[in-house]
Amino acid sequence: MAVPNDGKSIGLFGGDTDCPCETAGSSTTELAGFPDDSAALQACVSPEKRARAPVSPWVVQIRTRRVTPHELRDMLVRNPSDAARWTETAANAGLAAAQVVWGQLLLDGRHAARDAKAAFGWFLKAAEQGDIEARNMIGRCYEQGWGVAVDFKQATKSFEIAAQSGHAWGQVNLAQMLMRAGDPADRARCFALFKAAAEGGTDKVNLKAMNSLARFLEEGWAGTRDPVGAAFWYLKAAKLGDHWAQYNLATILFRQGDHEAAENLIRNAVSISDNGFRRRIAPLLLERPEPTLRQLGLDALARCAAGNEPEDLYAYGLALDQGVVGPRDPHEAMQMFQAAAAKGHALACARLRPQARLARLCLRIQAQIRVVTARPADSIVRTTIRSKENS
């Protein structure tokens, strides 16, 4: 008989439960309180627990329900430590959605020790149950060599299965694999895959597809060039916060003479993006003749250097030392080189060696100057003393 819920529900990931009624194989459990008017319900609790538990007019009813991988990730954000523990439990119990999320946690090393091989195994288990997201992740593992040897054929095969099921990441990943293969005959298929993913929503994968679709239209890779269509998709993705779309739209605006709007788009893209994006556009901006664009390139390098990665520190120091924007700043450049060298960056160490030799040479010269300037004074004192003695 169903027991009405009075609204006092507690999610399993929000707290701990220790009740033998828990049903295995489900990713989450709802706990609902209701009056204790049934002696049969007391059987759910062991005698030892009844003896030490205070008398309460409430008991626990456990209801199970299925959740998606997206819901599991939301739970991880709200309560990561408990969610990771229960995700592992659900994965071991055979829940495909939990197996995918647990595999990703192992792959990323979040809330668990990083183990790419084990992650790949969990993706395989979920895929055997027909989970399409797991199939896409298997493709990624084969593509990147995560827990398995790199195999582009197997990666393409997995992406194909996911794409045929309408999985947006599968569509985008398959299109990218085909583009990487370089066969012009595949361009029409790639265009169709990007278009399907671009029209499928406004998530990160959809924005990525919009940007790629716009590139196809801008370059005419699958037909006649369509700058208006390209601008439409760039603008749509840019408004939704995609930094690559903002950058690509800025290049169009710059060619059309709207420099101010282009610079604002690039400035925003640099501020909201990750360092991977910044590293790629910084050299392009630093090569531009316009001082404002070069300054944006230097700003991108500065944001990267704030992460204290040796390569980023060296690149920023080199730009400062060369004076790519305004006067050289050898003092701050030297600080960047020293920080990179302290982390073992070989080029930074090599750049510091001549500086160290020059510093040692300067110290020796200063010491020689002090000796030379001290000798005449000493000679004058001695001559004065001898003159007084003779007189």
Residue 30, domain member (yes or no): yes
The answer to whether residues 72 and 97 touch, using CB atoms and an 8 Å cutoff, is: yes
Do both 95 and 148 map to the same domain?
yes
What is the rounded distance in angstroms from the CA atom of residue 367 to the CA atom of residue 373? Answer: 10
Give the domain range for residue 160.
68-165
pLDDT at 156: 97
β-sheet bridge partners, residue 10: 31
Residue 381, domain member (yes or no): no
Do both 160 and 109 map to the same domain?
yes
Do both 119 and 61 map to the same domain?
no
Residue 106, domain member (yes or no): yes
Residue-wise pLDDT tens digits, 40-85? 445 444 555 555 555 555 555 555 566 677 776 677 667 777 778 8
The predicted model gives 92-103 an average pLDDT of 93
Q: What CATH code is carried by the domain that includes residue 130? A: 1.25.40.10
Residue 121, domain member (yes or no): yes
Do both 72 and 161 map to the same domain?
yes
Do both 115 and 37 map to the same domain?
no
Question: Hey, what are 205's tokens?
Answer: 């994968």
Residue-wise pLDDT tens digits, 327-381? 999 999 999 999 999 999 999 998 887 655 555 556 566 666 776 666 555 555 5
How many DSSP H helices and E strands does the chain contain? 18, 3
pLDDT at 35: 41
What is the rounded distance in angstroms from the CA atom of residue 37 to the CA atom of residue 18? Answer: 21
Give this prediction's pTM: 0.70
- Going by C-beta distance under 8 Å and a sequence separation of 6 or more, which residues neighbour residue 177? 143, 152, 155, 156, 159
